Chains A and B, each alone.
Chain A
Amino acid sequence: MSTTAGTPTKAPGVYPKSTVYRGRSGQWAFVMHRITGFLVFFFLLLHIVDVSLLNVHHGTTYNEVHRLYGNILLRLFEVGLLFGLVFHSLNGLRIVMIDFFPGAVRNQRNLFSVVIGLTVLFTVIGGVIIVKPFFSGS
């Protein structure tokens, strides 16, 4: 532990190694739920704007903008969106189970592992399907 100049000497006592709340998996589930929810919400705002282009110049603008979604960077962005959607969905189910079934509280750490496992599985499978057409030249 390095002490910076000017810091008063600590009074005797027990100090945590960091100030991060150590709620373990439940805390990480909470943080990830917030971040994925926030990002999916802002994607929805963006999506409302890009779909609204349907009514501009008889949809030619929509088609031009929409072609960008086939770009590899935006395809990777869509894989990220899939990750956010699936994680937020499955973790939301975990929260509902914890709220309504006492048994889920006892197994909440295992439930979080299931959420992470299924999220990775679905993201990888969906990610391959999303990215593949870019390389196979559709």
Chain B
Amino acid sequence: MASRVQDRPSPVAAGPGLERRPRQNFETWSWFFMRVSGLILIFLALIHFSLTHLVHDVAKTDTSFVSHRWNNPLWRVYDWTLLALGLMHGVNGLRLITDDYVRAPAKRAVTKAVLYAGTFTLFAYGTLTIITYGRY
């Protein structure tokens, strides 16, 4: 059995050092969130794209197309889930990119402030559109 373990060169495979797991901090949950939301988004985003670009021609997805689809509240829930998960997955990705490339503390703080404010504004705006369309 010992040779079985040696056969695995992977640093992520279970090894002797992993009996004591490190404390799970924010970055652990960030890593886990990216995996889970990413798997869900594969289905949500690719089905959404297929419906609006492959099954239907994009030129025909006008207001009548949208109001017909959003008559069903389940499609509003679907689109809102895609909006929320997509923005959270995206903003967390951009947070990591910012940490990698924007090194100066002040610049990093400003970059993240703009990123979070912009994302939150557009999240609120998108949510408003999905909820209020056809009933204002």
A contacts, CB < 8 Å to B: 34, 37-38, 40-41, 44-45, 48-49, 51-52, 54-55, 59, 62-63, 66-67, 69-70, 75, 78, 81-82, 85-86, 89, 92-93, 95-96, 98-99, 102, 105-106, 126, 129-130, 133, 138
Query: Which residue of the partner chain A has the closest CB to B100?
Result: A34
Interface size of B as a range? 35 or more
Contacts of A130 in B (CB 8 A): 53-54, 58
B126 to chain A, nearest CB (A): 4
Q: How far is the CA of A138 from the CA of B59 in the complex (A)?
A: 9
Given known pairs A51-B126, A92-B38, A92-B42, the reply for A41 and B83 (CB within 8 Å) is: no
Near A by CB (< 8 A), chain B positions 108-136 give 118, 122, 125-126, 128-129, 132-133, 136
Contacts of A85 in B (CB 8 A): 45-46, 49
Whether A55 and B132, one on each chain, are in contact in the complex, defined by CB atoms closer than 8 angstroms, is yes
Q: How far is the CA of A15 from the CA of B63 in the complex (A)?
A: 61
Q: How far is the CA of A118 from the CA of B11 in the complex (A)?
A: 28
Q: How far is the CA of A49 from the CA of B122 in the complex (A)?
A: 8
Contacts of B122 in A (CB 8 A): 45, 48-49
A20 to chain B, nearest CB (A): 16
Whether B133 and A69, one on each chain, are in contact in the complex, defined by CB atoms closer than 8 angstroms, is no
Query: Which residue of the partner chain B has the closest CB to A134?
Result: B59
Option from A41, A66, A96 in Cβ contact (under 8 Å) with B61: A66
Beyond known contacts A51-B129, A81-B49, A99-B35: 11 more, CB 8 A cutoff = A37-B93, A45-B118, A54-B129, A69-B58, A69-B61, A89-B45, A92-B38, A102-B12, A105-B13, A129-B54, A130-B54
B90 touches A (CB below 8 Å) = yes
CB-based A-B contact count at 8 angstroms: 105
The main secondary structure of chain A at its interface with chain B is helix
Q: How far is the CA of A98 from the CA of B35 in the complex (A)?
A: 11
Given known pairs A48-B122, A54-B129, A89-B45, the reply for A63 and B62 (CB within 8 Å) is: yes
Contacts of B38 in A (CB 8 A): 92, 96
Contacts of B39 in A (CB 8 A): 92-93, 96
Contacts of A99 in B (CB 8 A): 12, 35
Contacts of A126 in B (CB 8 A): 53-54
Whether A54 and B133, one on each chain, are in contact in the complex, defined by CB atoms closer than 8 angstroms, is yes
